[in-house]
Chains A and B, each alone.
Chain A
């Protein structure tokens, strides 16, 4: 039974500063010798490896707790410093204390009145649970720093910090000893106002007089194969501290010249500083003999390889594999192709019972590297685990012996075989579809392979992407994955309630070619297409006399469920004012009646990810398994068709005739002229102001509008000459890849380049480039590009394009890192929430987060664009054909599922714009990791 309620609650946490006294009290030994081991390899008494600080070698006992290696937790020791040194972590605080207290009497440099004001403000902040920093309080109250102590009237000198650890008073150095004396003088009553808790700390403790020495267990030395000892970096650093400390003490005691003592003192400061943080700016990092910088305390904790991110937040697993991915359209969408080499290493535990003992023994007898007669992969076994828990590797030698022993109670670690359940994942795992459950197909070669329909959920392509595979080890895990994480259970995305697994690119082009204007196919063609779908019988030809003929639409119909009814408008629809329905000139009105495609072309709107209506309807009404089958069939069919016909696109697809070029030139010329008119109107003051805009703004808005129009017109002209017979146009129109704007830019004109949504204006004084006159406001001078990618850009245009391009590059870089970091923080906040049986959302303590999930209790993954049911669709289905017409006439609905599977383009495809940045993706990720860390610290 689950425990409800808080089982343990943290009462309070106290942060304090170690006092020298406390350091000595918790110390098990005062370390005085810089040596570690004697000639016999025994730790030197009162040395850095003194056994009072714990033991790391087996056989020895700790002198403090008498524990052996794994029993003794280790104990702190300490070093008494000959002279005090600044603690590098507290430099900021020391500076604050010195600057705001009197150098003579130690009181805070405020009058009694001001003290009262600041205290009052501070408590007021604290009531609201906010921390109030002393300096910001002063600023808020407009209290200026004083030059004369209001208490003892002593004149104050200016304290500056010479980074990292030198303090100066009017430019004269003050020693840590003086600093410590001053801090000691600060009365305890003044501490609270300065932001220090007087119950837990004193300012003089910020200057070290005793240094804690961490237990040996924190800095174990390792014995190399050659027998040499190698000490930990911390130990090395402590040796340095001890040596200099010793020399400093001797020199001071014999009354050496002030200069020498000061030098040594500074050296001690350096060593203590680098002992804490070896990356302090302003001082060279301490190095190992080999030249490698030492990894000291701060370096142990900080960064990606630090304790927090690497050891505490980072977890590593066994039974996993990682390799490059590649596509395989012949695999089902639930499968993943696993290389044989990986399959040999990854194992599944087989718990031997009386029922499967023969099977288990068969695996053991095969050994670790079995093959069948053709040299093909056969799963074997790598290890057996005895009932006592002993793990024995299976070898050719001990195979026979093990075979006799293995029986109920043993575990055989069997190699991966076809049908095994595993998890497949691609980072960054931003949504739950980033990790899905697949069935293994062991295959030759070295990459993971999967069906192309799974590219969108993983956001994967094959330009070198790698993915991870995890093999589950328990029956429960397998069952859970199989029920909850199967690929087809995630066809509908909870992100937007539309398919996220589905046909892409060529699949869409293929099905479009198959259905658009209903082409004919011969027996030979049909055989070619259907050879890749052996489980689907070839239908009877549509026309038999005078040669067998199949129509594209009837070929497509065989992948549809027999009772499917659906009408919608295809992606190629031109949104005519009055829809001609079935008589559409461009075959854009799709109608499916009783599982037969009556009219229309199947393109993006029909099957694509994020908007495919057929796919969406099947997944919803016929179940996820039917959707899986539909997907597999329709993609194979589409690939068959596109392979049969052949499909290619190239630079010549953007060729337009000379006439068109002239027409475009004329349109752009007119646009520029219009801009010139606007500019002259602006200059002689006859430009009519737009409401709420200044003169300059009006000009810019108008110019942008005119040039935008010119570009669109140019695009239209180009489009006139580029028909659907053009491969690039076909892809854009059918929604397979690209859009008409891309084509316009390639064949007609790039159009206005912009930075921050405005025409370009930066660069030289009063002009963008030296090619133009100062103050030129014309189209060309402000970043209008009239060339196309095909024709090539003029030098000035090239610069303008780079400026616009740079902005979008920076934008996406910033956006991805920012949103990534936001997502990370959101997930950290939500990670332990779950939806309970009563549909309430609770955390692990059982506290309510939401009384009902999403307030309406609807699972977005099963919703219709966020609505629990699609009422229109239900009416249509219940009422049937006739009433549908009546409803239509009433003007209440269109037809069929009103907005089935339709999603605003930008929700899903905003991501597509980011693709260029793929390569830099990794870096960006790092970037926000860095950022989050700073936050964490």
Chain B
């Protein structure tokens, strides 16, 4: 079975790995601590696929998700990787 790149699917939003240096700025901007961020499992299909690009993503890293939104056009969300 040929591997399908899930990011090519219409319904899968864009996922980006946030640089470690940027993390602080983002958390500050959102007035958050890391444990208050929504989570995403390390085993999530999107993370697994993302790892093929970025290499291993350790728990605790922040993922930036850009998706289409019915109300706001484009919407940016963040998630923290958990085990």
Q: What is the interface of chain A, defined by CB distance below 8 A to chain B?
A: 4-6, 838, 840, 842, 845-849, 851-852, 854-858, 866
Contacts and interface: CB of A to CB of B under 8 A. Distances in A.
Interface string B44-83: 0000000000000000000000000111100111100000
Contacts of B72: 852, 854-857
A842 B71 CA distance: 19
Most chain A CB neighbours (cut-off 10 Å) among B35, B36, B37: B36
B12 interface: no
Contacts of A846: 32-33, 36
5 contacts: A845-B36, A847-B38, A848-B30, A848-B36, A852-B72
A848 B33 CA distance: 10
B36 A856 contact: no
B5 interface: no
A250 to B, nearest CB: 62
A13 B62 CA distance: 30
Nearest to A853: B71
Contacts of A845: 36
B33 A5 contact: yes
B78 A851 contact: yes
A871 to B, nearest CB: 15
- Top-6 shortest CB links A-B: A856-B72, A856-B71, A855-B72, A855-B69, A847-B36, A855-B75
Contact of A851 (B35, B70, B77): B77
Given A845-B36, A848-B37, A840 B30 contact: yes
Interface of B: 30-33, 35-38, 69-72, 75-78
A5 B75 contact: no
A848 B37 CA distance: 6
A6 B37 CA distance: 12
B14 to A, nearest CB: 15
Contacts of B38: 847-849
A866 B71 contact: yes
Most chain A CB neighbours (cut-off 10 Å) among B38, B69, B71, B75: B71
A852 B71 CA distance: 11
Contacts of B70: 855
Given A851-B30, A851-B78, A4 B71 contact: no
B31 A838 contact: yes
A4 B30 contact: no
Nearest to A837: B31
Contacts of A852: 72, 75
Contacts of A858: 71
Nearest to A842: B36
A4 B36 CA distance: 9
Contacts of B78: 851
Nearest to B75: A855
B71 A854 contact: yes
A141 B77 CA distance: 42
B36 A5 contact: yes
Contacts of A6: 35
A231 to B, nearest CB: 52
Contacts of B36: 4-5, 842, 845-848
B33 A855 contact: no
A126 to B, nearest CB: 15
Contacts of A5: 33, 35-36
Nearest to B76: A851
B48 to A, nearest CB: 15
Given A838-B31, A856-B69, 12 more contacts: A5-B33, A5-B36, A842-B36, A846-B33, A847-B37, A851-B30, A852-B72, A852-B75, A855-B72, A856-B72, A857-B72, A858-B71
Nearest to B69: A855
A32 B56 CA distance: 67
Contacts of A4: 33, 36
Contacts of B37: 847-848
A858 B70 CA distance: 12
A171 to B, nearest CB: 52
Contacts of B69: 855-856
A838 B71 CA distance: 18
A408 to B, nearest CB: 43
A854 B69 CA distance: 9
Nearest to B39: A847
Contacts of B32: 846, 848
Contacts of A857: 72
A216 B4 CA distance: 67
A6 B71 CA distance: 31
A857 B72 CA distance: 8
A763 to B, nearest CB: 47
Nearest to B70: A855
A864 to B, nearest CB: 13
Contacts of B31: 838
Nearest to A866: B71
Nearest to B32: A848
Contacts of B76: 851
Nearest to B73: A856
Contacts of B71: 854-856, 858, 866
A848 B69 CA distance: 18
Nearest to B38: A848
Contacts of B75: 851-852, 855
A2 to B, nearest CB: 11
A373 B24 CA distance: 74
A847 B71 CA distance: 22
A852 B69 CA distance: 12
A842 B33 CA distance: 13
Nearest to A857: B72
A856 B68 CA distance: 12
A709 B78 CA distance: 55
